[in-house]
Amino acid sequence: QKEVEQNSGPLSVPEGAIASLNCTYSDRGSQSFFWYRQYSGKSPELIMFIYSNGDKEDGRFTAQLNKASQYVSLLIRDSQPSDSATYLCAALYSSASKIIFGSGTRLSIRP
């Protein structure tokens, strides 16, 4: 059973701080990993993807991948109230041609 696990939260972070979101996956065959942000009533929006070990930075966002530990994380620096949303972690299992999503982490940025 291919699984992606996330803490459902809610995770509350003060404005301006770093928000850290974590995700683990069960199948070592997964090759690419994605972070989506979803506002209530909207479809998921892709904010980061990563497929190599290490860090990948894009503006205030940093994705981290550790394949040995089967662990993916997303850091949001200088958190803003507009970052309050549900963050979905997903893994692409190329061998099975499917993308599996975690249950999502609710993030709340408090002013």
Interface residues toward another protein, by CB under 8 A: 31-32, 34, 36, 42-46, 49, 51, 88, 90, 92, 94, 97-104
Q: How far is the CB of 17 from another protein (least distance, A)?
A: 26
- Residue (12 or 31) nearer to another protein, CB: 31
The smaller minimum CB distance to another protein, of residues 15 and 58, is found at 58
Which residues does 75 contact at the CB level (< 8 Å), separation at least 6? 18, 19, 20, 21, 61, 62, 63, 64
Query: Shortest approach of another protein to residue 41 CB, angstroms?
Result: 9
For the bound state, the minimum distance from the C-beta of residue 104 to another protein, rounded and expressed in Å, comes to 5
State the burial class of residue 48 (Cβ atoms within 10 Å of its Cβ: 0-12, 13-18, 19+).
buried
Choose between 33 and 73: whose C-beta lies nearer to another protein.
Answer: 33
> Which is closer to another protein, CB of 6 or CB of 73?
6
